[in-house]
Amino acid sequence: MQKLIQDFSIPAVFAGFITFLIGISVSAVLVIQAAQTLGATAAQITSWFWALGLGIGFSGLILSWKFKYPVATAWSTAGLALIIATGSGYTLYEAIGAFLVCGLVTAILGFLGIFEKVLSYIPQSLTSAMLAGVLLKFGITLFASMQNDWGFILSLLAVYIISKRLWTRYCIVITVIAGLLIAPQFMQFHVPTLHWALAKPVWIQPDFTWSAIFGLALPLFVINMASQYLPGIAMIKSYGYQPHVNHLIGWTGLTQALLAPFGCYSVNIAAISAAVSLDDQVHPDPSKRYIAGISCGLFYILIGLFAATLTSLLMSFPHLFIVALAGIALFGTISHNIAIAFAEPTDREAALMTFLFSASGVQFFGVGSAFWGLLFGFAVSMILKFKFKK
């Protein structure tokens, strides 16, 4: 506890909040839509947020505290897309059973160390290229927003650049505060009236069917591995940490399985949003950035406890505000991964193809471009390094 107090810093807490905000802002509505697709009632939807908030929050908080590096956890947006697309073919109870099976398979795979063995064969240049490609759209979207909202974007960028020059460590904190102050000048931004009440969990009896296991559980498992765990662990490694892969995958999977009957469809390592908690803007000392992971976990726990209240508050933030904040917060991570991806001349061709493929956003079989870009880049790398006999 004494070390926790000594390592505490305001920038780290803000980084945790931004990580949390990016993680839920875009897809919170999709959670509601996915639950409704399966026929969930209002009380059951609140239970979904309760289970997701507590599962994600406690796992991220405890893992960050135990291993002393930021472990941001999140739900899977790609998984929500899968549920929305296929959920009408299953009952809510069958889906809950599929979520439980998915969590158990993830936990077994993690604790056995199979995923870590596969990861050790993938060059870091390719994983960094994949991450840079996935994150690129956030930077592009920021500048593309100037077309219609140049006043707000330029104002926010001016604050960021000046604070980056004068107060590097606090630049994101200052940018967030400035954004809250200037947003009402450029857009409609009104905080809704809040009614505080603790969320109530609702037990949803799992129903195990082969159709839901093969049609929902296994695809959800593959999507989580491809779109969350693989880039998330690569993100942690790209900042010089040595992630405890077995524990990260095992415990998050087990958490999902335990809370699945209350609506927890996934507990994963965060991919894109995790970058904010890992960057040097959090703290110049990498050993003290874990506070951001703990902070992020606390915010998820709060949204779990006050699910209905905090969800309505966070959904009140204008979309443009979230887009701008996400783009600026990820500047450092995008440049960091590009630098690593193209550092080695021998890997540049494969890294470039991985980067472009990952940035394309294409999907095959419900799996996003991050996975396919890395797979394609790895194949290119193997071909270029293969020594043909003369």
DSSP one-letter string for 234-272: HHHHHTT----HHHHHHHHHHHHHHHGGGT----EE-SS
Is 254 within 8 Å of 108 (Cβ atoms)?
Answer: no
Among 129, 110, 123, 70, CA closest to 273: 70
Among 339, 363, 360, 362, CA closest to 351: 339
Is 229 within 8 Å of 266 (Cβ atoms)?
Answer: no
What count of other Cβ atoms lies within 10 Å of the Cβ of residue 26?
15
Q: For residue range 32-85, what is the model confidence (pLDDT) as tens digits?
A: 878 888 998 888 988 999 999 999 999 999 999 999 888 989 888 778 877 887
Listing DSSP states for 148-177 in one string gives HHHHHHHHHHHHHHHHHHH-GGGHHHHHHH
The three-state secondary structure class of 97 is helix
- Sign, CA torsion 53/55/60/62: positive
Distance CA 130, CA 105 (A): 25
Tokens of 45: 């939807």
Q: Name every residue whose Cβ is closer than 8 Å to that of residue 1 and which is 6 or more positions away in sequence.
A: none
Distance CA 354, CA 173 (A): 33
The three-state secondary structure class of 110 is helix
The conformation of residue 318, written as its DSSP 8-state character, comes to -
- Sign, CA torsion 366/317/10/154: positive
Q: Residue ranges of the chain with pLDDT lower than 70?
A: 1-8, 25-27, 29, 118-120, 169, 189-194, 310-316, 365-368, 387-390
